[in-house]
Structure 1
Amino acid sequence: MLGAVTASLLNVRNMPNSGSSVIGQLSQGAVIKAAGPHDNWLQINYQNTYGFIAAKYLQPVNDLARLTGTVNTQKLNVRLSPSATAKYLATLHLGASIKTLAILDNWLEIEFNGNTAYVASQYVDLTYSSKGFYAQVNANLLNVRAAPNATASLFGQLRADSQIWVEGVQKDWCQIRFNGNRAYVARDYLSPLADDTNDSAERDPIILSDHQDELPIPITEHGQELARLTPNTVLPVNGTNEQRNSASTWNKWGNLLQTLSTKKQLDVACALAVLCVESSGKGFEQNNSDKMIIRFENHKFWKFWGKHHPQQYRQHFQYSNQKVWREHKWRNDHLAEWQSFHGNQKQEWQVFDFARQLDEEAAMLSISMGAPQIMGFHFERIGYQSINEMFEAFSSSIQGQINGLFDFFSPQMLRYLQELDFESFAGMYNGKGQKQVYGDKIQKHYTAFKKIMPNLTD
């Protein structure tokens, strides 16, 4: 099993009993592979040998969004596929933080520059974060850094007594958000804002236990607490690309997807497959300050603004006259070179923000939003009074996005999904010009999910 240590420090012993010799210790949150069980003990690989840990101090790793990886070697190659002979893409340096998408045998599938890449797992320390907590700064000025090490670039500083939300802990560092960016501060200069009534000798002083009073940031919509997202049944993230994508999406949002699918009398595998295809099961982009995923459509901006300002529009935007969804380019100056921007969220937002300066409402009507990639001009169809209301709801929570997906399904769309006619569904959802491409992708993800979880979806 793949597990994370729950104790402050967990002894590693040379035999599966509490009287055997201690050969080392593991920190809270450390992620390891364990075999067994040996009664109440698990066997692990430890420092070129093997050891045993008490099984009760290991929790399963079932939410990859809570995994944080830190490079533990001076230089680590990033490759296109999980092989030492695969194409070299870049080098990561000691202390670099990475987002793990899947754990393979000896490789980690990671998110790199908005795409998927691979690194050797032995050179990355994985940490499974806690639920998070509020903490107070107890230094005069606390440096906020881009990575969990003392030589990383500075984002800024926090003043004494500042109260911040800690997302997780990596050894001597706490992960926080700073001006929208993932950032890190030294844990020695933070004090958790909670009463600790448990034995401090047995607990990590910065991690709140499940029995302590935590101070989570409430997530609400229209004054009501949002529904639980994660499912009871968690899937291993492995296999084909479609299987990994399906499992990862299910593990993040499966409970909500199942609840909404049941109300629509729809196989949850269908809704999940649509989400996987639209945005790879993601609603927000970590590498773009966790902003909502969007796609700016030049031809729609022409409809809502450009045709009323044709000369100004043509100085900044282009698209194909034959296939309007293709050849999208832009430039912020009429003398600059034309640039493509689809496929890169930072560039999508750059174009969108530029368009908002010209006409904010028209720009919001011209983007597809979030995990379901619903166009802004459909705001009334999914129950919003204005495009601003839809934009705010989709920007603030994944539940707003997924609710929007189910609200967008027309009776005919639902019939196509119930009949597993994915190409006809894609013709309505993605457009007739793309129905075969998207229909085939939805079919592949549907089949992949049915294969890895047949008991749930049959």
Structure 2
Amino acid sequence: MLSAVSIPTLNVRSMPQTNSAVVGQLCAGTVVWGDRPHNGWVQIPYAGALGFVSARYLQAVDDLVRLSGKVNVEALNVRQSPAVTAKVLTTLALGASVKILTVLNDWLEIECNGKPAYVASKFIDLVYAVSGDYAIVNVATLNVRSAPSVGADLLGQLSLASQVWVEGKQLDWSQLCFNGNPAYVKSEYLEVDNSAVAKDTASIVALNVLPQSPAISLAEHVQTFASLTPLILLTVSGNSEQRNVASTWNQWGALLQDLSDKKQLDVACALAVLCVESSGKGFEQTNRDKMIIRFENHKFWTYWGKNNAEQFRQHFCYNTDKVWTDHKWRSDPDGEWQSFHGKQTTEWQVFEFARQLNADAAMLSISMGAPQIMGFHYKRIGYQTVEAMFTAFSRNIESQITGLFDFFSPSMLSHLREMAFEEFAGMYNGKGQKQVYGSKIQQHFTAFKTFVPK
């Protein structure tokens, strides 16, 4: 059983008795591994031995978004599967932060270079956000930084009236969770939110930022996004498709189920689409938690290049017969052509270069976030400008997943309900790729069904 300390300090005792010796203390948020409570006590590993803590001051760890971890050894092997014999993918240094995807008893599934990987749980110190307060952003845009300093890396921005969950404070900075990682904002730009909405929804502390939409009220947002993590978590095991759907479900299953129900759609269909598009990820931890994008050269030609042909051809090229292939670029007109797809750092390098040439055209030419919706579809999913879509998708996973369902046309929904995945893919991914993507969606749909009782 995984639990977290819910009070400022909790005594660890030598025996399950209040008059036994205190062998140590745990601070609020510390995650402990222990047996189910027996006579009000939980036995836990402590300082190389065993100790006992009162179950009264523990709370269940049931929301992966609130869980963070740091490496507690000098070097930790990251493996391809949860086994000591599995291939070592890389090594993490002492103090490195990890993004937890799933808890598997002796192993943790983490995010590594954009893919699921595994580390032994005993070498990770886990912390759970057990307390905090709601606050509202009171400025037009609020910078979110990696550390409590104006010189720290900028992770993103929050817009006016965004509701956030503040986990703690350091001097004049407030700490919150941004895209799954600790982040900081200036406290002077936040106001405590004592509204009934905040008071009545203490269970949604995983919601760090609520998406903004002129058509939906704050109360409706709270109701819609009352939970991201489902009550029932799946064991991440099996083939690659099964691991993918289980991991994605464990992170966003509650929201996917809620939105699927509203569309009268089998959640397995939406889950499969999300997994195929981005393995269920909206942000890339190894790229400073920036939104996942894909820059399409042929679209940038459409929105900017054809009117600036000579300059475009100096920096971008692609196969004009199969426009989705052979994308290359170069910043120096005399330099060598370079491929860039497949790595978020290079995708963003090309995108930022294009954005200097024409910002709107560059944003129109990228697919964004977990659903990989192209920027030029911004009106279809309810945004007035492509910049508004880019900002919302850059802010949180909720906007991205909601965007997926807003993007589904009646015909797409009909194909999904009939499990005609190839026809759906022809509309979502393009006719040239419908067989490839249709097959992948089918495989992930089938993989999720292996977890569902018949």
Q: Does 1:394 align with 2:387?
A: no
Secondary structure of the 1:35 match is coil
1:351 aligns with 2:344: no
The TM-score with structure 2 as length reference comes to 0.78
Q: 1:233 aligns to what?
A: 231
Q: Distance in 1 between matches of 2:24 and 2:414?
A: 59
Q: What is the TM-score with the length of structure 1 in the denominator?
A: 0.77
**Contact 1:382–1:404 (Cα < 8 Å) also in 2:** yes
Q: Which residue identity does 2:400 align to in structure 1?
A: Q
Q: Does 1:268 align with 2:255?
A: no
Q: Distance in 1 between matches of 2:12 and 2:179?
A: 39
Shift of 1:111: 1.9
User: Residue 431 of structure 1 corresponds to which residue in structure 2?
Assistant: 430
Structure 2 gaps, min length 5: 136-143, 154-163, 185-189, 193-201
Q: Tell me, in whole angstroms, the C-alpha distance in 1 between the residues paired with 2:451 and 2:385.
A: 40
- Give the counterpart of 1:224 among 217, 224, 231: 217
Corresponding position of 1:249: 248
Please give the residue correspondences for 1:240-389 in structure 2 after superposition, counting only pairs within 5 Å: 240=238, 241-389=240-388
Letter paired with 2:322: K
Q: Which residue identity is paired with 1:360?
A: A
Task: Give, in angstroms, the shift of residue 125 of structure 1.
Answer: 0.9
Contact 1:64 1:248 in 2 (8 A): no
SS of structure 2 residue aligned to 1:390: helix
Residue matched to 1:159: none
* Alignment check: 8 A CA contact 1:96 1:147 kept: no
After superposition, the Cα gap between the structure-2 partners of 1:318 and 1:145, relative to the gap in structure 1 and judged at 3 Å, is closer
User: Shift of residue 448 of structure 1?
Assistant: 3.4
Deviations 1:330-384 (A, max 9, x none): 1111122322222222221221111112222221111111221111122233233
Task: Using the TM superposition, give the Cα deviation of residue 237 of structure 1 relative to its aligned residue in structure 2, in angstroms.
Answer: 4.9
Q: Output the amino acid matched with 2:310.
A: Q
Distance 1:358-1:169 versus aligned 2 partners, 3 A rule:
same
Q: Which residue of 2 aligns with 1:2?
A: 2
- Change in Cα spacing, 1:116 to 1:46, as seen in structure 2 (3 Å) is same
Alpha-carbon contact 1:102-1:244 (below 8 Å) kept: no
Code of the residue aligned with 1:221 in structure 2: it is S
* Equivalence for 1:49: 49
Q: % of aligned pairs identical?
A: 58
2:65, 2:180 within 8 Å by CA — same for their partners in 1? no
Partner in structure 1 of residue 125 of structure 2: 125
Superposition pairs for residues 410-429 of structure 1, below 5 Å? Answer: 410-429=409-428
Letter matched to residue 233 of structure 2: L
2:13 aligned with 1:13: yes
Give 1:206's aligned residue.
Answer: none
The CA distance in 2 between the partners of 1:84 and 1:230, in whole Å, is 31
Q: Is the 8 A contact 2:210 2:398 kept in 1?
A: no
Q: Deviations over 1:122-153 (max 9, x none)?
A: 22211112454589xxxxxxxx99799xxxxx
Gaps of 5+ in 1: 136-143, 149-153, 157-164, 186-191, 195-209
Distance change >3 Å, CA 122–CA 348, structure 1 → 2: same
Letter matched to residue 217 of structure 2: Q
CA-atom RMSD in angstroms: 3.9
Match of 1:78 in 2: 78
Aligned length: 412
CA contact (8 A) 2:101 2:251 kept: no
2: CA distance, partners of 1:259 / 1:98: 28
CA–CA distance in structure 1, aligned partners of residues 178 and 33 of structure 2? 35
Aligned twin of 1:28: 28
Deviation at 1:179, TM superposition (A): 12
Instruction: Tell me the amino acid that sits aligned with residue 93 of structure 2.
Output: H
- The 8 Å contact of residues 319 and 329 in structure 1, kept in 2 or not, is answered as yes
Q: Offset at 1:400?
A: 2.7
Q: How much does 1:418 deviate?
A: 0.8
- Distance in 2 separating the partners of 1:260 and 1:179: 23
Q: What is the letter of the counterpart of residue 238 of structure 1?
A: V
Tell me how far apart the structure 2 counterparts of residues 52 and 320 of structure 1 sit (CA, whole Å).
Answer: 65
